[in-house]
Chain A
Amino acid sequence: MSLDFLLEIGTEEIPDWMIPAALTQLTKVDLLGATPRVDATPRRLVVRAEGLPERTPDSEQIVKGPPISAGDKAAEGFAKKQGADASALRKSGNYYELVKRVSGRPVRDILAETLPGAILGLQWPKTMYWTDRSGPRFIRPIRWLVALLGDQVIPIEIGGVRSGSVTRGHRILGADSIPVTVVTYERELRKNAVILAAHERRHKIEKEAAALGAKLDRDLVETLTYITEFPTAIKGDFDPAYLELPAEVLSMVMRHHQKYFTVEGPRGGLAPNFVAVMNTSGDPEGLVKHGNERVLKARFNDARFFWNVDQQKKLADRVDDLAHVTFQAKLGSYKEKTDRVVALVKELGGDANAQRAALLSKCDLTTEMVKEFTDLQGVVGGLYARAQGEPEPVWRAIYEHYKPLSMEDSIPSTPESQIVALADKLDTLRSCFSIGLIPTGSKDPFALRRAAQGVVKILVEAALEYRLDALAQGELYAFLLERVQYYFREVRGFKYDEVNAVLKAGVSTLKDVEDRLNHVARVRPTPDFEPLAASFKRINNILKQADFTHGVVYAGMLEDGPEKELYQAYSRLAAFGPLEEVAELRPYVDRFFDKVMVNAPDPKIRENRLSMLSDMLRKFSSIADFSEIVTSGDQTKS
């Protein structure tokens, strides 16, 4: 008979962002061949499956006994130890053996043993105990357990909580003791104001919020999906007078602090409304709407207060205050950092506007607004600079100088912004590296990887003409180079061997690296390319074995036929041909190796041939080191 399975781990509210990862782990729970289906709300993690067997099948196990030569006594002893009669033993070669019948076990018993370990074995970012120090650890206290196989409870116990067949509904709208079966479970939850399926809650949020004019935001939708059991969207209003505050600040308060969706106005700006998602079914008296409006108003008042206070002292008058803001204990204050960044901007050729922006870029760290909304640093500085009459190239460069914030984020939009953003990140990297603050493994407290990634992204995407080795040396150069590889592979999708080949041929500007990569990627699919790369590798090996670096090619010593033809072909291509045509060399190379013996008996001829091969290799290696290209004949390497 096949049985259905239900496990519900009833908890106190689990942090929303941790739930999807926990569900992924739960899909791997061993249910004796049945496929787990998982679901969750903040208060329950649920695994269901169909078609579990009632028992595992019986099986036979062969236990090897003593050698026959050891005699009857030994055989009897062995049988006794196995709980069998000596007559049950049989002979196999020179040994006794016993065929033991292992009865199958009830699956319910097996699950009763394995489920607690599977539950407590879930990995969480941070766990707690709630009974006592020796008690179980989980993300939040486990308060009830439903564990059913068919119509029977699978008996388990965690931290004093015993499994049963009784669940709980929504904290406010549902009953707190609801008998369920595998069949009625989801239906009973729904009756008690719990929508079990995340996709259904997500859909309800999106549909209702969109209908109210919300500007949907994927991250916020996810958060709200896992912070509610019965989401319902409502619309609230705020005094349009607050729209005089910058949209960035209003959005930050609404989205990040209050978890509201913003509403777009007729001309793309903000409308004086918001959409909140409740964890309940309705707001007939408008109390929830009123409460949220009240909170938002207080928050906006704070923001307006900060804005007004901050305007009393211009950014330009705050530069010296940065001497009291520590950048890093050993690296001194933000004033010192600012001085370095200004100098670097100048060194990189930044104009007066860029230098001005660099000077003011960190001043917002001393403002009340940034102390309250730290995520808005840079943005607030830019807005203040604009309000204080700084020219657009200046305020925009301040506004954008933390960009790109991630690999997906765009780079700063103007030449001034780009140079300030570059200088700021480069200074952070150089300074930290100079005192040995180099990221290792997962430890990267100063987000240096992100800074380096930003440097790379700006250099490439703004096509800036700085040589990488002029911007960084030593360990920092190597660190940046790693990010260059990462960027071209993971963000731009080039194959790793193409990236290796191009980088190995040398790095000047990253724009040049990008151009060469595009070349290589373009010729890669032509049929002659990979075989040619294989030939280049062969040449490389020949030269290496001969311990040969370079020599002079004497054209007169070349043999007519394949050798001379190869020489003429590559000389012509190297002088005039675009990389696209490098593959045309292939027949010449093949014929050469087919007909010509490099290791000629005459050492002079041999040397001339080696010279020619190395000359050819060098001429084509300025674009990429083709020996790095992995061809179908190679072992995969990484």
Chain B
Amino acid sequence: MPMDTFQDTVLKLKHYWADRGAIIQEPYDVEVGAGTMCPETFLRVLGPKPYRVAYVQPSRRPADGRYGENPNRLYKHQQLQVVLKPPPDDVIDQYLGSLEAIGIDLSKHDIKFEEDNWESPTLGAWGIGWQVMLDGLEITQFTYFQQCGGIDLDLAPAELTYGLERISAFLQGVESVYDMQWAPGVKYSEVRLADEVQFSVYNFEMANVDRLWRLLAEHEAECKELLGKYEKYPDKRRFPVLPAYDHVLKCSHLFNLLDARGAISVTERVGVIKRVRDLAVGTARLWVAQQGDQQAPGEGAAA
């Protein structure tokens, strides 16, 4: 059997979850630090409506950049995010099936579920779960969400976050992610190395700190202004909660950039995290209120 390329693995996983009733979404087009932050997870896990979705999300963590020199650390890595709401009883078996589907013969490997509860202070979100270890390599974060945006969740959705580069490098048996085959004859480095180098330079050396602070304040202001207008807005269905959330994401990304620039002291850190969390919590509340007020467009798709 020929070795699967990175894109083969991604396609197989998408197929696998599509076959199990998940909508295959495309990546969200605003910078996020993790697939969890996309509205498809952060907002859809709220409320009582069942939902199943899977998507690849490029996730940006400016502080993790290594100028393309570290074989395993990336400024931007690809996550496959699967959200199953509510989780099926055999959710772990389904997950293990997905590993078989990408060619991992579990009878020849060692798989362990090690306690790892997930928490995001900036999102007011936490869950209970594991890191899934394959021969000592963490390949997936598996979480039963309990709270999001400070709101207790109705259905405790299961969230599976696959670290795609790690898994694919494991399958291809390469030491460095840059040596992976992305597509036949095309290496990961050819697709992404420039990205890693240039963004490392920008994130660590050139991003204008004063301007980043101003941008953060602007996005915060825009989000706050929107949140403040919901109550008096006549036609709730049309109210732009989703655009408000985009500004939360912008704030979160700017925070990460400032952090990578070393511009946030430990003292300030807590304060800035709280600013972003307040926005996230405010948006989550409006989303729930809006869902409760009426059936918003595009709701209640796959189950």
A binds B: yes
Contact residues in B for A88 (Cβ distance below 8 Å): none
Q: How far is the CA of A228 from the CA of B110 in the complex (A)?
A: 10
Assess the A132–B86 pair: CB atoms within 8 A: yes
Q: How far is the CA of A15 from the CA of B114 in the complex (A)?
A: 7
Assess the B152–A133 pair: CB atoms within 8 A: yes
Contact residues in A for B265 (Cβ distance below 8 Å): 324, 326
A612-632 vs B, Cβ < 8 Å mask (1 yes, 0 no): 000000000000000000000
Q: Residue B175 contacts which of A140, A287, A294 (CB distance < 8 angstroms)?
A: A294
A258-296 vs B, Cβ < 8 Å mask (1 yes, 0 no): 101000000000000000101110011101101110111
**Min distance, Cβ A227 to any Cβ of chain B, angstroms:** 6
Q: Does chain A have a CB within 8 A of B146?
A: yes
Assess the A296–B130 pair: CB atoms within 8 A: no
Task: Please report which residues of chain B, range 58-87, place their CB below 8 angstroms from some CB of chain A when the two chains form the complex.
Answer: 70-73, 86-87
Q: Residue B109 contacts which of A16, A128, A258, A287 (CB distance < 8 angstroms)?
A: A287
Contact residues in B for A324 (Cβ distance below 8 Å): 262, 265-266
Assess the B130–A13 pair: CB atoms within 8 A: yes
Q: Does chain B have a CB within 8 A of A172?
A: yes
Given contacts A172-B107, A291-B135, A291-B136, contact A132 B156 (CB under 8 A): yes
Contact residues in A for B130 (Cβ distance below 8 Å): 13
**Min distance, Cβ B65 to any Cβ of chain A, angstroms:** 14
Assess the B266–A326 pair: CB atoms within 8 A: yes
Contact residues in A for B155 (Cβ distance below 8 Å): 132-133
Assess the B112–A285 pair: CB atoms within 8 A: no
Assess the B135–A128 pair: CB atoms within 8 A: no
Assess the A131–B70 pair: CB atoms within 8 A: no
Q: How far is the CA of A172 from the CA of B262 in the complex (A)?
A: 46
Q: Does chain A have a CB within 8 A of B232?
A: no
Q: How far is the CA of A260 from the CA of B133 in the complex (A)?
A: 13
Closest B residue to A260 using CB positions: B136
Closest A residue to B146 using CB positions: A128
Contact residues in B for A228 (Cβ distance below 8 Å): 112
Q: How far is the CA of A540 from the CA of B267 in the complex (A)?
A: 56
Q: Does chain A have a CB within 8 A of B134?
A: yes
Closest A residue to B170 using CB positions: A291
Q: How far is the CA of A532 from the CA of B218 in the complex (A)?
A: 81
Contact residues in B for A12 (Cβ distance below 8 Å): 92, 113
Contact residues in A for B93 (Cβ distance below 8 Å): 176
Q: Residue B144 contacts which of A17, A128, A276, A285 (CB distance < 8 angstroms)?
A: A128
Closest B residue to A160 using CB positions: B89
Assess the B128–A128 pair: CB atoms within 8 A: yes
Q: How far is the CA of A260 from the CA of B154 in the complex (A)?
A: 39
Given contacts A16-B115, A172-B111, A279-B112, contact A141 B96 (CB under 8 A): no
Q: Does chain B have a CB within 8 A of A343?
A: no
Q: Does chain A have a CB within 8 A of B137?
A: yes
Q: Does chain B have a CB within 8 A of A593?
A: no
Which of A68-76, A297-305, A543-551 lies at the interface?
Answer: A297-305
Q: How far is the CA of A12 from the CA of B130 in the complex (A)?
A: 10
Closest B residue to A279 using CB positions: B112
Q: How far is the CA of A630 from the CA of B73 in the complex (A)?
A: 65
Q: Residue A130 contacts which of B96, B154, B156, B267 (CB distance < 8 angstroms)?
A: B156
**Min distance, Cβ A580 to any Cβ of chain B, angstroms:** 56
Given contacts A132-B156, A291-B170, contact A173 B135 (CB under 8 A): no
Q: Residue A276 contacts which of B111, B136, B146 (CB distance < 8 angstroms)?
A: B136
Task: Please report which residues of chain B, range 101-156, place their CB below 8 angstroms from some CB of chain A when the two chains form the complex.
Answer: 106-115, 117, 127-128, 130, 134-137, 144, 146, 152-156
Q: How far is the CA of A329 from the CA of B268 in the complex (A)?
A: 9
Q: Residue A141 contacts which of B72, B109, B144 (CB distance < 8 angstroms)?
A: B144
Q: How far is the CA of A126 from the CA of B114 in the complex (A)?
A: 15
Q: How far is the CA of A288 from the CA of B106 in the complex (A)?
A: 11
A173-211 vs B, Cβ < 8 Å mask (1 yes, 0 no): 100100000000000000000000000000000000000
**Min distance, Cβ B106 to any Cβ of chain A, angstroms:** 5
Q: How far is the CA of A62 from the CA of B166 in the complex (A)?
A: 73
Q: How far is the CA of A228 from the CA of B133 in the complex (A)?
A: 12
Q: How far is the CA of A128 from the CA of B153 in the complex (A)?
A: 11
Q: How far is the CA of A258 from the CA of B267 in the complex (A)?
A: 32
Interface size class of B (residues with CB under 8 A): 35 or more
Assess the B110–A128 pair: CB atoms within 8 A: no
Q: Does chain B have a CB within 8 A of A171?
A: yes
A289-325 vs B, Cβ < 8 Å mask (1 yes, 0 no): 0111011111001100100000000000000000011
Assess the B136–A295 pair: CB atoms within 8 A: yes
Contact residues in A for B156 (Cβ distance below 8 Å): 128-133
Assess the A325–B115 pair: CB atoms within 8 A: no
Assess the A227–B114 pair: CB atoms within 8 A: yes
Closest A residue to B87 using CB positions: A130
Closest B residue to A290 using CB positions: B135
Assess the B146–A296 pair: CB atoms within 8 A: no
Assess the A42–B71 pair: CB atoms within 8 A: no
B240-270 vs A, Cβ < 8 Å mask (1 yes, 0 no): 0000000000000000000000100111001
Q: Residue B108 contacts which of A279, A285, A326 (CB distance < 8 angstroms)?
A: A285
**Min distance, Cβ A170 to any Cβ of chain B, angstroms:** 11
**Min distance, Cβ A626 to any Cβ of chain B, angstroms:** 53
Closest A residue to B96 using CB positions: A171
Assess the A130–B144 pair: CB atoms within 8 A: yes
Contact residues in A for B134 (Cβ distance below 8 Å): 291
Q: How far is the CA of A291 from the CA of B134 in the complex (A)?
A: 8
Q: Does chain B have a CB within 8 A of A143?
A: yes
Task: Please report which residues of chain A, range 124-146, place their CB below 8 angstroms from some CB of chain B when the two chains form the complex.
Answer: 126, 128-133, 140-141, 143
Contact residues in A for B113 (Cβ distance below 8 Å): 12-13, 42
Q: How far is the CA of A284 from the CA of B105 in the complex (A)?
A: 13
Given contacts A16-B115, A129-B156, A329-B267, contact A297 B175 (CB under 8 A): yes
Given contacts A12-B92, A128-B144, A326-B266, contact A140 B109 (CB under 8 A): no
Q: How far is the CA of A288 from the CA of B134 in the complex (A)?
A: 8
Contact residues in B for A298 (Cβ distance below 8 Å): 71-72, 175
Given contacts A13-B130, A172-B107, A329-B267, contact A227 B136 (CB under 8 A): no
Q: How far is the CA of A302 from the CA of B109 in the complex (A)?
A: 25
Contact residues in A for B71 (Cβ distance below 8 Å): 298, 301
Q: How far is the CA of A105 from the CA of B126 in the complex (A)?
A: 46
Q: How far is the CA of A140 from the CA of B135 in the complex (A)?
A: 23
Assess the B107–A173 pair: CB atoms within 8 A: yes
Contact residues in B for A140 (Cβ distance below 8 Å): 128
**Min distance, Cβ B116 to any Cβ of chain A, angstroms:** 9
Contact residues in A for B73 (Cβ distance below 8 Å): 302
Assess the A143–B89 pair: CB atoms within 8 A: yes
Closest A residue to B158 using CB positions: A130
Can you pick out 25 interface pairs between chain A and chain B where the beta carbons lie within 8 Å of each other?
A16-B115, A126-B128, A128-B146, A130-B156, A131-B156, A132-B86, A132-B154, A133-B154, A140-B128, A171-B92, A171-B96, A172-B106, A172-B107, A279-B112, A280-B111, A285-B108, A287-B135, A288-B135, A291-B136, A294-B137, A294-B175, A301-B72, A302-B73, A324-B262, A324-B266
Question: Known contacts A15-B115, A298-B71, A326-B267; can you find 7 more A-B pairs with CB under 8 A?
Answer: A12-B113, A17-B115, A42-B113, A176-B93, A294-B175, A305-B70, A325-B266
CB-CB nearest 3 A-B residue pairs: A291-B135, A15-B115, A326-B266
